Amino acid sequence: MKAIAVQPGAGGPDVVSRPVPEPAPGEALVRIHRVGVDGTDYEVIEGTHGGVPDGDDRLVLGHEAVGVVEDPNGTGLEAGQYVVPTVRRPPPGVETNDYFERGDPDMAPEGEYVERGIVGAHGFMAEYVTSPAAYLVPIPDELAPWGFLVEPISITEKAIEHARASRSAFDWRPESALVLGTGALGLLTAAMFTETLGYERVYCLGRKDRPHPTIDIVERLGATYVDSRETPVDEVAAAYEPMDVVYEATGHATHAFESIDALAPNGVAALLGVPTDWTFEIDGGRLHRDLVLSNKALVGSVNSNRRHFEAAIDTLAALPDWLLESIVTGIYGLDEIERAFPSATAPAATTDGGSGVGPDDDTTIKTAVEFMPI
């Protein structure tokens, strides 16, 4: 079978040949339909995040997948059922650990998990994959074409759950939200705030000139576009309003701290970005004081668990088609993977703590690779 693999830090991804995997007891064989590409894939390609499985020099990419059960192998799944695989698995040679047993693999510390397609385990960019049935989440047939968006949506389901939990000790009534970043994660999250979470006022911060498709999406959602070049994050509260929630999806490290200024009293900022090292000056005393005296919270969040995938499937069903069609700017077959990874062969280093890779033409928002048409 064909798969898409990469040698991290040594160039772009290639189509390789691999044997069709045999499902072990408890595992099903899944034929992959589509797999999404995101910023994390570029970090893996560049070699700044993740890594190959022990004993291998290449990693099969892909962690945002949807496929169809080819062989249930006695697991209780049904042949022909569409499924979305979750990403974390126990480390090699370990059947389970406390985090996986409790259903909280997303809370496992480093060393207590691998992530398929990211770190220590091959991913889903292959014609066939196997997985324990417990990590395969059924998705209705009509949502399968967009099923590769379930994983990124699940990232926000988790982050919002944790942000809310941090405010659960009092009668919190959030109305305003600021999303930092107009990449796929930022736009999907802005849509969740306006369409499914019911926030009254939503703002989305980017750094694009008008006219731009991402600004059109933000405005069609009824949200307000904020240009960070005119209004930096720490000036948003004064220029617009102090925010009940900030959701950081830029990976721009100063934003984590500037978010404290953007928050209203009692607000919470969820931090999602994964920047490289970057040293800069902040007035730590002032920010510390503000966090304390205004009851503010900062919550870091990574990955997601099966519950978040299930919630994400409901969210996906509620998001309008125009939005999904606008965010997914291209779906490509194996014969044109360079279009699915437009900047993978020419990563540009940055000095601002960002990953330096990402879609290189200005209109690509999110792409996917199609292994099998429906």
Distance CA 265, CA 267 (A): 5
86 assigned ligand-binding residue = no
Cis before 19? omega within 30: no
Binding-site size for ligand NDP (CB under 6 A) equals 26
Q: Which one of 182, 315, 326, 364 is in contact with ligand NDP (CB under 6 A)?
A: 182
Minimum CB distance to Zn ion smaller for 38 or for 157: 38
The answer to the question of residue 228 lying near ligand NDP (CB under 6 A) is yes
CA 300-303-307 angle, to 5 degrees, is 110
- Whether residue 184 is annotated as binding a ligand: the answer is yes
Q: Is 13 in the site for ligand NDP (CB under 6 A)?
A: no
| Residue 303 known to bind ligand | yes
Is 151 annotated for ligand binding? yes
Q: Does 207 contact ligand NDP by CB under 6 A? A: yes
Q: Please state at what angle helix 213-220 crosses helix 184-191, rounded to 10 degrees.
A: 10
Closest contact distance (angstroms) between CB of 89 and Zn ion is 16
Nearest to 58 by CA among 113, 5, 120, 131: 5
Binding residues for ligand NDP restricted to 96-125, rule: CB under 6 A: none
* CB closer to Zn ion, 38 vs 261: 38
Q: Any contact of residue 308 with ligand NDP (CB under 6 A)?
A: no
Tell me if 183 contacts ligand NDP by CB under 6 A: yes
Q: Measured in Å, how far apart are the chain's first and last C-alpha atoms? A: 18
Q: Which is nearer to ligand NDP, 129 or 185 (CB)?
A: 185
Type of residue at 114: V
Strands (E), 91-222: 114-116, 120-121, 128-132, 136-138, 176-180, 201-206
User: Which residue in the set 114, 118, 184, 253 belongs to the binding site for ligand NDP (CB under 6 A)?
Assistant: 184
Residue 249 binds ligand NDP, judged by CB under 6 A: yes
State which residue has the least CB distance to ligand NDP: 183
Identify the CA nearest to 39 among candidates 178, 128, 155, 133. 155
At 147 the three-state DSSP class reads helix
Is 259 known as a binding-site position? no
Q: Does 326 bind ligand NDP (CB under 6 A)?
A: no
Tokens of 65: 């997948």
Which one of 155, 323, 327, 340 is in contact with ligand NDP (CB under 6 A)? 155
Q: State which residue, 66 or 184, has the beta carbon closest to ligand NDP.
A: 184
Reported as type and span, the H/E element at residue 255 is helix 254-262
Query: How far, in Å, CA of 351 to CA of 306, rounded?
Result: 36
Question: CB of residue 38 vs Zn ion: minimum separation in angstroms?
Answer: 4
- Picking from 228, 237, 148, the residue whose alpha carbon sits closest to that of residue 188 is 148
| Shortest Cβ 233–ligand NDP spacing (Å) | 8
Taking only Cα atoms into account, the Rg of the chain, rounded to an integer number of angstroms, comes to 20
Which of 168, 180, 100, 171 is CA-nearest to residue 132?
100
Per the annotation, binding residues for NADP(+) are: 182-185, 272-274, 301-303
Residue numbers of the site for ligand NDP (CB under 6 A)? 38-40, 155, 181-186, 205-207, 228, 249-252, 272-274, 301-303, 354, 358
Per the annotation, binding residues are: 40, 115, 151, 182-185, 272-274, 301-303
